């Protein structure tokens, strides 16, 4: 496995984690 590929996977997982965390905070506020 290439280093660039592992770095890419880490970035993707980080973005998914941040997106899920932001969604957990944002959606309750928008629903009222």
Please report the pLDDT score of residue 9 as a whole number: 97
On average, the pLDDT of the chain sits at 89
Q: In this predicted structure, what is the pLDDT of residue 2? A: 84
Domain assignment of residue 22, given as a range: 1-32
Ordered alpha helix ranges (H), the chain: 3-31
Q: Alpha-carbon distance 18 to 13, whole Å?
A: 9
> How many domains, in total, are found in the chain?
1
Whole-number percent of the chain with pLDDT over 90:
59
11 φ, ψ (degrees, to nearest 5):
-65, -45
What is the spatial distance between Cα 16 and Cα 19, in angstroms, rounded to a whole number?
A: 5
Q: How confident is the model at residue 26 (pLDDT cuts 50, 70, 90)?
A: confident
Tokens standing for residue 31: 């629903």
pTM for this prediction: 0.62
């Amino acid at each position: 496995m290439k280093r660039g590929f592992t770095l890419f996977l880490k970035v993707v997982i980080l973005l998914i984690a941040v997106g899920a965390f932001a969604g957990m905070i944002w959606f309750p506020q928008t629903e009222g």
